[in-house]
Amino acid sequence: MKDKRDFLKVTDLSLVEARELLALAARLKSEPKGLRTQLLPGRSVAIVLEKASTRTRVSFEVGCAQLGMHPVVLGIQGSQLGRGEPIRDTARVLSRYCDAIVYRTSAATKLAEMATASVPVVNALSDDGHPVQVLCDVFTAEEHLRGGIAGKRVAFVGDCGCNMARSWVEAATLFDFHLVLAGPRSYLPPPAELTAAGSHVSLVHDPATAVAGCDVVNTDVWTSMGQEAEVSERTEAFAGWTVNERMLRPAKPGAIVLHCLPAHRGEEIDDATLEGPRSRVWDQAENRLHVQKALLVWLLGAAARIA
Ligand code: CP
Ligand code: NVA
């Protein structure tokens, strides 16, 4: 594909492009499900998952169907990736069959190898970020924030070194809001990422003041996929960082709560908050579908065909 674009991190998009994409997502969300089933006929998307997934897999598969595309889901088990075929070779072969690759993996080096494909590659979660999720989360936040996310105060509570937090750091720079990273001192993004974000990001290490004045409060699991061996030290390190009504008291009165899911109720968030009036997590999960459809349409150069 000539001049292919990837979406490996939030800042792969310019602000103008991100705005175009979110507007497209709003348009697709407002339409009947079956309206665009003729938009990209004959196109296929490989969805390669090296880790478990519910939302990402289903929303991309259903999204492809709603755009007239064919999704092909490939896991480690059952594909030659599990027997050591190089990712680079897989990328070349998939490029001959498919029009885009959606890839969930661990190390950034593996993602970079898949991105040698000649078709667009989308990062569907890696150790360094979960950019599709955060793009969807900005969309969800803006459905509820008067005047958009720019200039607002967003908190990420808990494991601020995790992939979600790291993509939120990028989003703060791109969309020009302030991100408070609130959690224990030893769980932070790499220093270079904090330096790059400059005054868009501040650090708080006290749960009592973590979300003060915030419009959006976001959290994620304390132990991400691949970190299972660290579960006990992490459970100990994050004690006291559960998002609950007490922590939320100093937030703005209308503050909303986001969680990318799956959630561990009673750990990073309590059940009452997840199910309570501030929670937007179910809209957030739904919006994966709409925003990722927009992303695929945009990457495959069909945005102009949606009048
Ligand atoms: N939030 C998210 O990516 O969920 P899955 O792991 O279920 O895809
Ligand atoms: N940080 C979590 C996100 C899951 C969608 C993980 O990587 O497991």
> Domain 131-285: which topology?
Rossmann fold (3.40.50)
Residue 231's alpha-carbon distances to 167, 181, 206, 222, 272, in angstroms, are 22, 21, 22, 8, 24
Return residue ranges of the chain for CATH 3.40.50.1370. 10-129+287-305, 131-285
Lowest-confidence region among 2-6, 103-107, 245-249: 2-6
Confidence of residue 3 (pLDDT cuts 50, 70, 90): confident
Which residues 6+ apart lie within 8 Å of 24 measured at CB? 294, 297, 298, 303, 306
Q: How far is the C-alpha of 116 from the C-alpha of 78, rounded, in Å? A: 23
Compute how many other C-beta atoms are within 10 angstroms of the C-beta atom of residue 194. 18
Q: Which residues are catalytic?
A: 104, 130, 133, 220, 260, 288
Q: Would the pLDDT of 307 be above 80?
A: no
Residues in the chain: 307
CA atoms within 13 A on the CB side of 206: 4
**Which pLDDT belongs to residue 97?**
98
219: enclosing H helix or E strand? strand 216-219
Q: Would the pLDDT of 1 be above 80?
A: no
CA-closest candidate to residue 25, choices 293, 270, 233: 293
Q: Confirm or reject: Cβ of 224 under 6 Å from ligand 1.
A: no
CA-closest candidate to residue 149, choices 159, 160, 137, 157: 137
Q: Give 112-160 pLDDT, tens digit per residue.
A: 999 999 999 999 999 999 999 999 999 999 999 999 999 999 999 999 9
Q: Would the pLDDT of 294 be above 80?
A: yes
Q: How far is the C-alpha of 74 from the C-alpha of 72, rounded, in Å? A: 6
Q: Confirm or reject: Cβ of 53 under 6 Å from ligand 1.
A: yes
**Which pLDDT belongs to residue 91?**
98
Q: Give 48-99 pLDDT, tens digit per residue.
A: 999 999 999 999 999 999 999 999 999 999 999 999 999 999 999 999 999 9
Average of per-residue pLDDT values in the chain: 97
Top mutation candidate among 135, 258, 260 for ligand 1, by most atoms within 8 Å of CB: 260
Q: Confirm or reject: Cβ of 173 under 6 Å from ligand 2.
A: no
What's the rounded mean pLDDT across residues 104-111? 98
3.40.50.1370, 3.30.70.100, 3.40.50.300, 3.40.640.10: which CATH number matches 10-129+287-305?
3.40.50.1370
DSSP state of 180: E
Top mutation candidate among 53, 130, 230 for ligand 2, by most atoms within 8 Å of CB: 130
What's the rounded mean pLDDT across residues 164-180? 98
Please give the model's pTM, rounded to 2 decimal places. Answer: 0.97
Top mutation candidate among 48, 50, 55 for ligand 1, by most atoms within 8 Å of CB: 55
CA atoms within 13 A on the CB side of 52: 6
DSSP state of 269: B
Q: Give residue 2 CA to ligand 2 midpoint distance, Å.
A: 33
Q: Confirm or reject: Cβ of 225 under 6 Å from ligand 2.
A: yes
Which ligand number lies closest to the CA of residue 126? 2
What's the rounded mean pLDDT across residues 268-274? 98
Q: Give residue 220 CA to ligand 2 midpoint distance, Å.
A: 7
Q: How far is the C-alpha of 217 from the C-alpha of 203, rounded, in Å? A: 14
Q: Would the pLDDT of 252 be above 80?
A: yes
202: enclosing H helix or E strand? strand 201-204
Confidence of residue 2 (pLDDT cuts 50, 70, 90): low
CA nearest ligand 1 atom 4, residue? 55
Starting at the edge strand that comes first in sequence, how are the strands of the sheet with 201-204 ordered?
201-204, 178-182, 153-157, 216-219, 256-259
Residue 170's alpha-carbon distances to 3, 28, 208, 234, in angstroms, are 24, 25, 25, 24
Q: Confirm or reject: Cβ of 133 under 6 Å from ligand 1.
A: yes
Kindly state the percentage of the chain with pLDDT values over 90.
Answer: 98
